[in-house]
């Protein structure tokens, strides 16, 4: 009956007195849980509120970097040779596509690439911020863009933007000088110069684009776009406009450059043209070449292989980085050294029987029959090897090296682009580097620009300029001016004089006359450079290629050189032409120099004539303009006049 | 039946709190469905209709003497079990679970109604067994069996959240009805021993998404875009609300659809994001007020049945609130339970209002004098 006693009887059984204390316990439980919830809310909303606020912002805002227009590069006459053009870019934010299957597949199909390739492009941007759109396809075609737009709802995270793209209207034109742009490399991201730039920002990676990057790159802008959870654009939140880079006026002359490149078409080699009076680079061509337009778009495998593995080394700027034995062009430096040391003169003659014996070796003249009696002028004009063997032997290598240094050979010119120094040997050099003493026999081959001697084409062009401009050694320049968009206006770079040759000016005249003879006189080696239009002076060179065909034992032809100035009396242009394996300088290189000279000087001549005509007309200008001259002529006259005015301002 | 005295005995403070909750709920549903409805407010109007229906049901419950419920207690229980079987047989599937039963043009969730009927049946059981000095284990076998049947049916749907809710309600009501200390120790001991085994067994029978939810609760970062997405986005929404919130319709997590299930299970995140800490605590305070008022009703009830009924309803509301809010702030696993009176959902709204009707009923009949 124990159990019975537990039951309340009657009305008491309906009582709730036993329940009441237990309700307190339940109430306390509820309070504890509610307190926990409030504490948790306090933690999330108050203590970590700003952290979660940031997370919610990065959830909804996609920051799209707007590329600034890079500064336009003009040739010296104001023709744009590196510009910007609007193009479509397709971007993709992988985080926005996570909840929709098939986005990557769809995008890859539209772009005609494999999924693997797409993933590589995404991963290439290693340290991008989450939710940062990745540029998948730049310069997308209209068909690709319309297909993306048509399938917008199935492609969350995929966006199309119109942005300015670097554009080189003439493709390969002056590519080595202008260079190209590309993404900031991981190594560059470490450096201070590129801090704060978006990871997919394009910077100059080669040539002038690289050397002047800070000036022409501009500042990126930003666009904040609100998106929803499906990656769809809801609205534009804000825009910070990019700041355009400054424009540059290059020293390059479109016509001279064009002529140089036409001459090298299908060949390997380089042409450099300088203004002897200030060191400005009028043309800088190197072949084989490349199209800089392809770099910012990302290279495909074939392009990459061609650019990096082709044995023609298309990326190599031979004008600055090609180190070759100068061959007989070196005789100009030899002549200066000989005249200055008194070992050579217009009257002091040697005899050439076709060869020269030194020690137990025979050194041949290129003319096996010999040149007979030879003094300096004839030696230059006919390029007599024996004369210079003897001269070199008489002077010794260190005298040669001394005058080469004055002329800027065997050292970087300071043009501001990546270049190689070449080499002018000396006894000191041999001891230091080769740990050996200099043998007099080695001087003999150096005397005709072989042996250890190596130079770059730009060094030879400058040597010709320095000899014929009265002995001023200029630092070559590729940029004439920065055209600032603000009140600074156009700022010109003054010529940089590195030194004045400590030589007798009369000796320079003797060499210049020799150069004239090379082209103009009977017996001269470079009749191919003779122009009906202007007196050209120069020096040929045929550099023997020894040991280059190593391994396969492949025979290579000699390198053909020609250095030239024109007009000889008062040079306005100095040119150096190198044609690799081209054969004789006189036949393979000299005609190319002539073409560059004529292309450049004719323009000058034309504009001078136009200027005179314009001056004559000033009085009756309006009438003359309305007169018989065709519209096209008038237009050209106006252009030339403005070009002339620009030049006038620079001096 | 409604006379001046009846009206006078209605608790106006409680009514105000209830009205405030309904208002908060409608505001939140309006905001949460704003984007998906594209300004047409279809879902919002649905909720309004359901609430009107719920209010009518609540008034009915206030009028009808709860003693009648006692009489019909086990019948209601039987009806609940039949509904749960029916839902498995012919129910409509939604979001991976079979939870809805069609009723004319509408459909409803029998498991919601079953919970309320369960409370009534258990209240009847615990008031009729007349044990006041604590139940022994064998005296709890019967109510446990009563609960196991619907739990099994609900698990089959599968709806883990509601199944847990049944068990919690049983625990709370048993605790209120009294358990012997020794029995309690036995219970806890057995529980401690069998839980790992049961968990092991249950794990094998869980659906993949349920396993994921549990794993993800322990560590949301293992799958931030998949199963962990709910928790992470909800925490971002709540946290980014800060002190005062982003403002009505300005919650970026909510309006830009980053927050999943935001008009149902995660509606508290919407409130937190748009109204901040202040708004969240205000809502919790309303719930606490109602819960304490319910406990007070149980305390002052004139008979055991009324008291147990109130305890059951209070337990139901408390668990909903604690688990739902705990889930949105990342301290409870994601189990699909609605926030009473606020989450979008007709059955839940009607059931909750009916439950409050019962509370009012018990509350106003607490004085024997007028009975």
Q: Please tell me which of the candidates B243, B284, B314 has its beta carbon nearest to residue A49.
A: B243
pLDDT of A625 reads 43
Query: Under an 8 A CB cutoff, do B322 and A33 touch?
Result: yes
Q: What is the pTM of this model?
A: 0.69
- pLDDT tens for B272-285 read 999 999 999 999 99
- pLDDT tens for A245-297 read 999 999 999 999 999 999 999 999 999 999 999 999 999 999 999 999 988 77
Reduced to 3 states, what is the DSSP secondary structure of residue A474?
A: strand
- By CB atoms closer than 10 A (0-12, 13-18, 19+), residue B371 is exposed
Number of domains observed in the structure of chain B: 1
Question: Could you tell me what percent of chain B has a pLDDT over 90?
Answer: 41
Catalytically annotated residues of A: 328
Q: Which residue has the higher pLDDT, B318 or A118?
A: B318
- pLDDT tens for B292-343 read 999 999 998 888 899 999 999 999 999 999 999 999 998 888 877 889 999 9
Cis peptide before B158 (omega within 30 of 0): yes
User: Residue B286: closest CA among chain A residues belongs to which residue?
Assistant: A34
What does the longest C-alpha to C-alpha distance in chain B come to? 62
pLDDT of A215 reads 93
User: Residue B229: closest CA among chain A residues belongs to which residue?
Assistant: A99
CB-based contact B323:B284 (threshold 8 Å): no
Is any Cβ of chain A less than 8 angstroms from the Cβ of B137? Answer: no
pLDDT band at A326 (very low <50, low <70, confident <90, very high): very high
Report residue A483: phi and psi, to 5°. Answer: -100, 90
Determine which of B240, B271, B295, B362 to mutate to test the interface with A (most A C-beta atoms within 10 Å): B240
pLDDT band at A630 (very low <50, low <70, confident <90, very high): very low
Is any Cβ of chain A less than 8 angstroms from the Cβ of B132? Answer: yes
Determine which of B252, B275, B305, B309 to mutate to test the interface with A (most A C-beta atoms within 10 Å): B252
pLDDT band at A10 (very low <50, low <70, confident <90, very high): very low
- pLDDT tens for B214-251 read 776 666 666 565 557 788 889 999 999 989 999 898 88
pLDDT of A413 reads 94
Q: Which domains does chain A have, with CATH numbers?
A: 63-250 (3.90.1310.10), 254-606 (3.40.710.10), 607-650 (no CATH)
pLDDT of A552 reads 37
* CA–CA separation, B201 and A124 (whole Å): 47
- Any residues with CB less than 8 A from the CB of B129 and at least 6 apart, and which? B135, B139, B177
A400, HSE (Cβ side, Cα atoms, 13 Å): 33
Q: Annotate A535-578 with three-state secondary structure.
A: CCEEEEEEECCCCCCCCCCCCCCCEEEEEEEECCCCCCEEEEEE
User: Which residues sit opposite A542 in a β-bridge?
Assistant: A560
Q: Which H or E run contains A373?
A: strand A372-374
Angle at which helices B67-90 and B304-328 cross, to 10°: 40
* CA–CA separation, A331 and A254 (whole Å): 31
Across the range A80-91, mean pLDDT stands at 91
Q: Which domain holds residue B94?
A: 4-370
Determine which of A2, A3, A12, A26 to mutate to test the interface with B (most B C-beta atoms within 10 Å): A26
CA distance B138 to chain A (A): 13
Q: Which residue has the higher pLDDT, B64 or A536?
A: A536
Q: Please tell me which of the candidates B178, B233, B292 has its beta carbon nearest to residue A18.
A: B178
Q: Which residue has the higher pLDDT, A641 or A147?
A: A147
Give the helix ranges, DSSP H, for A139-269.
142-150, 175-178, 186-190, 207-211, 213-216, 254-264
Residue ranges with strand state E in A382-528: 472-474, 479-483, 490-492, 497-500
- Any residues with CB less than 8 A from the CB of B350 and at least 6 apart, and which? B50, B53, B54, B57
**Predicted confidence (pLDDT) at residue A642 exceeds the cutoff of 60:** no
Angle at which helices A142-150 and A103-111 cross, to 10°: 160
User: Residue A40: closest CA among chain B residues belongs to which residue?
Assistant: B329
CB-based contact A231:A56 (threshold 8 Å): no
Query: Under an 8 A CB cutoff, do A228 and B131 touch?
Result: no
Q: Which residue has the higher pLDDT, A147 or A298?
A: A147
CA distance B263 to chain A (A): 16
Query: Under an 8 A CB cutoff, do B315 and A19 touch?
Result: no
CA distance B24 to chain A (A): 18
Residue A155's alpha-carbon distances to A111, A192, A518, in angstroms, are 13, 38, 70
- Any residues with CB less than 8 A from the CB of A578 and at least 6 apart, and which? A269, A270, A271, A318, A322, A324, A457, A559, A560, A561, A589
CA distance A171 to chain B (A): 46
pLDDT of A46 reads 94
- A482 CB neighbour count, 10 Å cutoff: 19
Interface of B with A in 301-330 (CB under 8 A): 301-304, 307-308, 311, 314-315, 318, 322, 325-326, 329-330
- pLDDT tens for B167-199 read 899 999 998 988 888 888 887 887 778 777 777
pLDDT of B227 reads 58
Q: Please tell me which of the candidates A22, A45, A230 has its beta carbon nearest to residue B239.
A: A45
CA distance A8 to chain B (A): 7
User: Which residues sit opposite B97 in a β-bridge?
Assistant: B94
Query: Under an 8 A CB cutoff, do A60 and B258 touch?
Result: yes
pLDDT of A75 reads 94
Across the range A609-618, mean pLDDT stands at 66
Query: Under an 8 A CB cutoff, do A45 and B272 touch?
Result: yes
Residue A356's alpha-carbon distances to A326, A382, B258, in angstroms, are 21, 17, 90
* CA–CA separation, A156 and A231 (whole Å): 5
Chain B residues near residue A227 by CB distance under 8 angstroms: 256
Which of A85, A91, A65 is closest to A240 using CA atoms?
A: A65
Which of B241, B203, B312 is closest to B31 using CA atoms?
A: B241
Chain B residues near residue A57 by CB distance under 8 angstroms: 252
**Predicted confidence (pLDDT) at residue A647 exceeds the cutoff of 60:** no
A vs B, Cβ pairs < 8 A, gives: 159
A252, HSE (Cβ side, Cα atoms, 13 Å): 29
pLDDT of A290 reads 92
Question: Could you tell me what percent of chain A has a pLDDT over 70?
Answer: 88
């Amino acid at each position: 009956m124990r159990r019975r006693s537990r039951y309340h009887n009657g009305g008491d059984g309906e009582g709730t007195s036993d329940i009441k204390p237990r309700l307190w316990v339940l109430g306390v439980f509820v309070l504890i849980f509610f307190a926990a919830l409030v504490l948790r809310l306090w933690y999330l909303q108050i203590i970590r509120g700003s952290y979660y606020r940031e997370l919610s912002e990065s959830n909804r805002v996609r920051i799209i970097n707007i590329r600034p227009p890079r500064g336009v590069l003009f040739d010296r006459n104001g023709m744009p040779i590196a510009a910007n053009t609007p193009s479509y870019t397709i971007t993709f934010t992988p985080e926005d596509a996570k909840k929709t299957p098939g986005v990557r597949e769809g995008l890859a199909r539209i772009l005609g690439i494999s999924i693997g390739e797409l993933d590589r492009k995404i991963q290439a941007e290693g340290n991008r911020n989450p939710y940062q759109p990745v540029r998948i396809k730049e310069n997308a075609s209209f068909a690709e863009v319309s297909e993306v737009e048509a399938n917008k709802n199935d492609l969350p995270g995929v966006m199309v933007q119109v942005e300015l793209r670097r554009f080189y209207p003439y493709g390969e034109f002056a590519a080595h000088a202008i260079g190209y742009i590309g993404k900031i490399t991981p190594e560059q991201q470490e450096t201070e110069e590129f801090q704060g730039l978006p990871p997919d920002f394009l910077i100059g990676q080669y040539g002038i684009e690289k050397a002047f990057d800070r000036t022409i790159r501009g500042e990126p802008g930003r666009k904040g776009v609100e998106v929803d959870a499906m990656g769809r654009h809801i609205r534009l939140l804000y825009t910070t406009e990019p700041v355009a880079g400054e424009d540059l006026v290059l020293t390059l002359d479109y016509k001279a450059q064009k002529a140089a490149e036409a001459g090298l078409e299908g060949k390997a080699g380089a042409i450099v043209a300088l203004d002897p009076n200030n060191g400005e680079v009028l043309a800088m061509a190197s072949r084989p070449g490349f199209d800089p337009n392809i770099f910012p778009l990302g290279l495909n495998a074939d392009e990459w292989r061609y650019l990096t593995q082709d044995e023609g080394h298309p990326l190599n700027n031979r004008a600055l980085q090609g180190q070759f034995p100068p061959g007989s062009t070196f005789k100009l430096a030899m002549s200066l050294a000989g005249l200055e040391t008194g070992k050579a003169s217009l009257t002091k003659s040697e005899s050439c029987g076709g060869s020269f014996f030194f020690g137990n070796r025979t050194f041949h003249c290129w003319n096996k029959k010999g040149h007979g009696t030879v003094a300096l002028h004839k030696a230059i004009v006919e390029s007599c090897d024996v004369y210079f063997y003897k001269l070199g032997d008489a002077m010794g290598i260190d005298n040669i090296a001394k005058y080469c240094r004055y002329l800027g050979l065997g050292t970087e010119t300071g043009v501001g682009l990546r270049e190689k120094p070449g080499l002018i040997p000396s006894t000191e050099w041999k001891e230091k580097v080769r740990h050996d003493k200099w043998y007099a026999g080695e001087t003999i081959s150096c005397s005709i620009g072989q042996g250890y001697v190596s130079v770059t084409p730009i060094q030879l062009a400058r040597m010709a300029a320095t000899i014929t401009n009265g002995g001023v050694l200029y630092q070559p320049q590729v940029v004439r001016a920065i055209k600032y968009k603000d009140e600074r206006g156009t700022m010109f770079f003054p010529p940089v004089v590195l030194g004045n040759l400590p030589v007798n000016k009369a000796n320079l005249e003797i060499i210049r006359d020799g150069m004239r003879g090379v082209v103009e006189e009977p017996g001269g080696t470079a009749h191919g450079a003779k122009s009906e239009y202007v007196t050209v002076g120069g020096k040929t060179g045929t550099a023997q290629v020894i040991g280059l065909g190593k391994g396969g034992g492949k025979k290579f032809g000699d390198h053909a050189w020609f250095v030239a100035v024109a007009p000889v009396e008062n040079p306005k242009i100095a040119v150096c032409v190198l044609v690799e394996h081209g054969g004789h300088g006189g036949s393979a290189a000299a005609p190319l120099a002539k073409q560059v000279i004529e292309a450049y000087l004719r323009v000058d001549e034309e504009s001078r004539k136009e200027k005179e005509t314009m001056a004559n007309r000033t009085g009756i200008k309006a009438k003359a303009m309305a007169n018989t001259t065709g519209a096209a002529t008038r237009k050209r006259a106006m252009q030339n006049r403005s070009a002339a005015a620009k030049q006038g301002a620079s001096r | 039946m409604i006379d001046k005295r009846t009206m006078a005995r209605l608790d106006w403070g409680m009514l105000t709190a209830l009205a405030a909750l309904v208002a908060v709920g409608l505001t939140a549903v309006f905001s949460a469905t704003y984007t998906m409805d594209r300004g047409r407010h279809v879902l919002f109007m649905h909720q309004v209709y359901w609430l009107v229906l719920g209010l009518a049901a609540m008034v009915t419950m206030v009028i009808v003497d709860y003693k009648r419920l006692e009489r019909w207690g086990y019948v209601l229980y039987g009806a609940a079990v039949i509904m749960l079987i029916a839902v498995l047989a012919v129910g409509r599937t939604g979001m991976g679970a079979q939870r809805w039963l069609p009723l004319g043009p509408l459909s409803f969730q029998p498991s919601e109604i079953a919970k309320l009927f369960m409370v009534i049946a258990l209240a009847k059981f615990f008031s009729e067994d007349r044990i006041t000095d604590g139940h022994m284990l064998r005296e709890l076998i019967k109510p446990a069996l009563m609960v196991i049947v619907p739990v099994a049916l609900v698990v089959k749907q599968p709806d883990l959240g509601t199944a847990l809710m049944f068990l919690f309600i049983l625990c709370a009501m048993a605790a209120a009805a009294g358990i012997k200390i020794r029995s309690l120790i036995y219970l806890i001991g057995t529980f401690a021993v069998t839980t790992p085994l049961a968990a092991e067994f249950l794990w094998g029978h869980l659906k993949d998404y349920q396993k994921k939810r549990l794993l993800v609760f322990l560590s949301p970062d293992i799958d931030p875009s998949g199963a962990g997405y709910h928790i992470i986005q909800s925490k971002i929404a709540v946290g980014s609300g800060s002190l005062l919130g982003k403002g009505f319709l300005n919650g970026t997590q909510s309006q830009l659809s980053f927050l999943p299930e935001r008009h149902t299970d995660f509606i508290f995140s919407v409130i937190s994001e748009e109204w901040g800490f202040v708004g969240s605590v205000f809502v919790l305070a309303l719930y606490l007020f109602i819960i304490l008022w319910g406990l007070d009703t149980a305390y002052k009830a004139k008979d055991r049945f009324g008291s147990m009924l109130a305890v059951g309803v209070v337990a139901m509301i408390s668990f909903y609130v604690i688990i739902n809010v705990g889930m949105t702030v990342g301290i409870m696993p994601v189990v699909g339970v609605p926030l009473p009176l606020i989450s979008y959902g007709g059955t839940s709204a009607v059931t909750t209002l009916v439950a409050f009707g019962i509370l009012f009923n018990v509350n106003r009949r607490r004085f024997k004098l007028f009975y």
